[in-house]
Amino acid sequence: MMTFLEFEKPIAELEGKIRELRSFSGGSGDVDISVEVGQLETKLGKLLKETYAGLTPSQKIQVARHPERPHFSDIAEHLFDDFTPLGGDRAFGEDAALIGGLARFRGEACIVMGHEKGSDTESRLKHNFGMARPEGYRKAIRLMDMADRFELPVITLVDTSGAYPGVGAEERGQAEAIARSTDKCLSLETPIITCIVGEGGSGGAVAIAAGNHVLMMEHAIYSVISPEGCASILWRTNDKAQDAAIALKITAQDLLKLGVVDDVVPEPLGGAHRDRERAMNLLGDHLENGLRDMAGLDGARLKELRREKFLAIGEKGLS
């Protein structure tokens, strides 16, 4: 059964009534409930549309963190053929929070990588809730070097609350690894396209998101710090997290206006978790279009466009 968010209680109640009516008929055909069910489904569609058209930033956070939202492993299985994960940073070890490797995307060879949060308790622990350590970002650098060597486009999928802040990660050079990964993104001579598919948190996200073309799913969030972290620093209380979410401009719609992202990938009505397959297909179409726009550009031009893009961030919102 689908997990309903706090603001979705009226939706959950309506869907519950529809299920009750259907179970009451028992499939015998003796009682015709089609009219009643049709009316309730129409009402449900209207309620979903109204609810998701007016989501607040704090509600967007809930949707972006929904446990049933498609994660990297789901997207890799659905959109990519012949995906071959490549592990290890050749310096310390493997990091399961950031997965990447060779694949084919709609017939074309590429490098694909992204954060994996996991879907249940066991997998979340295995993937460290999508919070990468230095070896994860050094693995990303290794994969991008491979992409440069073999002239392969790079596709990155971001879904992390941030890089892992543990003592061990800091001892192994977390900040340096993030900085070098970001620099590698900016210096690539092959196309790099990225999408924030869920949560894009801080440098842990930017480290693989400094692409030529940056997409963001409709109900994803992208921020220099989590609203909870911002509130705890500025007001020393989590009670102000909603205010922080508004001030940070974390939504796809705000970031498109500011020029931080280039395009917003629409989600099925009710969020990507309601129709995962359609959500992933929409993402695939936008990735394909973005890569097509970069086809034929040489390495120097790709680097120049990337530089211009990031230097211009914020100008839209200030003009």
CA distance 62 to 199: 10
pLDDT tens digits, residue range 89-134?
999 999 999 999 999 999 999 999 999 999 899 999 999 999 999 9
**Res. 20 pLDDT band, cuts 50 70 90:** confident
This prediction has a pTM of: 0.91
Predicted local distance difference test score (pLDDT) of residue 41: 86
Predicted local distance difference test score (pLDDT) of residue 160: 94
pLDDT tens digits, residue range 170-217?
999 999 999 999 999 999 999 999 999 999 998 999 999 999 999 999
> Does the pLDDT of residue 37 top 90, yes or no?
no
CA distance 214 to 293: 13
The DSSP bridge partners found for residue 154 are 111, 192
pLDDT tens digits, residue range 137-177?
999 999 999 999 999 999 999 999 999 999 999 999 999 99
